[in-house]
Structure 1
Amino acid sequence: MPSIRNVAAPYWAEFIGTLLLTLVGLGVTAQNLTNATTSKTEALNSSLAWGLAITLGIWTSEHVSGGHINPAVTLSRAIFSGFPATRVLGYLLAQTLGAFTGALLVWANFGAALGDLPNGKGLHPAALAFITTGDTWTGLVGEITASFIFVLAVFAITDNTSTAKSIAPLAVGLAFTATSLGVSSPLGLAVNPARDLGPRVFAALAYGFDVFAHGSFYFWVPLVGPLAGGAAGAFVYEWLVRRDAAYHALEEGAAH
């Protein structure tokens, strides 16, 4: 009979993996905000850093939990890949708490520098180290598009027949970097609901609850967009690519 530790292990892995993802990714965002010399390279170093952060998070958690570290991946796995529905809520909670804790550690490291940013009326500029924001329509289209590409790539890379499966954490990280450079930057998209919600809750506690009203209540965009785009990407791979690939593999094997 499994112990409590055995049962809890996948959730701890998702918590720690998402914590590392957020700690590294938001750390670079905080550096960009507080270091004027990075403005010209911000899009590149941010995209590379978030990709490497994802690689680190997956390497840490993959062998225990599958290395989802993203609610959009978890939900897509549950719908299309047979991931147990009974684990979904626990994974989402663990991911969000991990992202919140990652934001707390970033604040512990950069809080003083962020606090020195010029502050006028409205949202404290330091909050931008933790949340995503922008035009609602543009952001929603961007979140759906970027999440579609990213989750489709995740499904393709982690397929048992994929040649990239042996280096999946690195390949997934590179897929995110490519997606970020092509779609995300300079919009600052989340492509991960936990990455925005956990740090946004932390930012609300640290800098005020304006983070939820900011940008015409933009907070719902990085929640809904990645879930919708991720599910669409998973559908395209599972129903329009993978099934045909399996058929052609069988046909090729029969020919030989």
Structure 2
Amino acid sequence: MFTCIESPYGGADPKKLVDLEASRGISLPDDYRTFLLDCGGGSLIENTIDAIARDEGYFEIRTLHGIDPQNGVLFSDLDGMQDCYEGAVPDDLFVIGSDHGGNLFVMRLASPHTVFWWDHETGERAKLAAGFSDLLERVKPTPPDPPECDFTSWESLPADWQSEYRRSVCECAAMEGRSDVIEQWASLGRPFGESMHFAAMNGNLNVVDLLISLGEDINQPCSDGRTPLDWASFQEDRVSALRERGALLADEQTN
């Protein structure tokens, strides 16, 4: 039994496997035939594989299709999958699985039976493994999501940490009102970016005051020309507090 496979199907009927090959005029690799006879299809318990032919990234295998699976779903059936993608997937490739986005895992029918990830919209390929057995040997657990920064201490923050919005530690600290982190950032001589804008928008006046004391302009425009007050203009209480500190809207500034 393939220990990395979680299969609800059980082994494929040998006759149905022979019929599949005969009806399509193909001969499947021995290791893949053994998998079908043993498991009949299923999902990988460890389902992530790095791309061989890419500089970065990995792929998750949602399912490996079977022969006449018990749930009767077309897109879990090997024969149905070949019909579905006929004319789209090149004739020398055989669909063996899918990911969560509807993209495919395909195997070259001729030796050396290379396995690829195949984009169902663009036809882009990425080489994953030299063959089916190699594919199973290369899978591993999906890497966990990186922990979110909790700003508990400066030491806990990697210097190049960025949020999902590609913001610096300093800008994220401004969102959180963490003046202590910003003081540490300033001691390293690094740019503040749009920290004043984020502090103003979130009403973190302690950070606004700190940035002013560090020489930042409360009316410095961001990349699209808006000032911190523009970012905070939807909150009346923040607007009044910022105006007390000399903040102006972009269209109020004189050239």
Q: TM-score, normalised by structure 1?
A: 0.23
Relative contact order, higher structure (CA 8 A, sep 6+): 1
More strand by share: 2
More helix by share: 1
Q: TM-score, normalised by structure 2?
A: 0.23
